[in-house]
């Protein structure tokens, strides 16, 4: 279904620093409004939810709708108060979940 998601964030940050996180996941995002060559409606299949946690705490979440383009790109900011792991999850209509993790350390 999808290649490994691409995540871009610093490998280290100062305590309390606000960092920018960029994510990109490969997905067709079929809206359910198009028809195939036989005129039948192609079933909807989109990523409908994205979440990001840092050390088990919610950082960012959003709902995605059929109007979102293929290969959704999501960018947001997060404050880093400690070293840890960001966990990302993209949930598809059929319940499939694409996950990724990235670690960040604190600058001395």
Tens of pLDDT along the chain (108 residues) come to 457 899 999 999 999 999 999 999 998 888 888 999 999 999 989 999 999 999 999 999 999 988 888 999 999 999 999 999 999 999 999 999 999 999 999 998
Residue 70 belongs to what domain range? 6-106
Residue 64: give its domain's CATH number: 2.60.40.10
Rounded to a whole number of angstroms, the CA Rg of the chain reads: 16
Q: CA neighbours within 13 Å on the CB side: how many for 61?
A: 9
pLDDT at 10: 98
Give the pTM: 0.89
pLDDT at 2: 54
Q: Is residue 1 part of a domain?
A: no
Residue 18's nearest CA partner among 72, 59, 73, 61 is: 59
**Total domains in the fold of the chain:** 1
């Amino acid at each position: 279904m999808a290649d490994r998601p691409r995540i871009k964030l610093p490998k280290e940050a100062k305590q309390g620093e606000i960092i920018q996180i960029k994510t990109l996941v490969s997905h067709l995002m079929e809206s359910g409004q198009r028809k195939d060559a036989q005129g039948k409606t192609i079933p909807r299949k989109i990523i409908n939810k994205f979440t990001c946690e840092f050390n088990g705490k919610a950082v960012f979440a959003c709902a995605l709708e059929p109007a979102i383009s293929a290969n959704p790109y999501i960018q947001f900011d997060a404050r880093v108060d400690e070293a840890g792991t960001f966990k990302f999850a993209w949930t598809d209509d059929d319940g499939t979940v694409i996950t990724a993790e990235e670690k960040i350390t604190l600058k001395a």
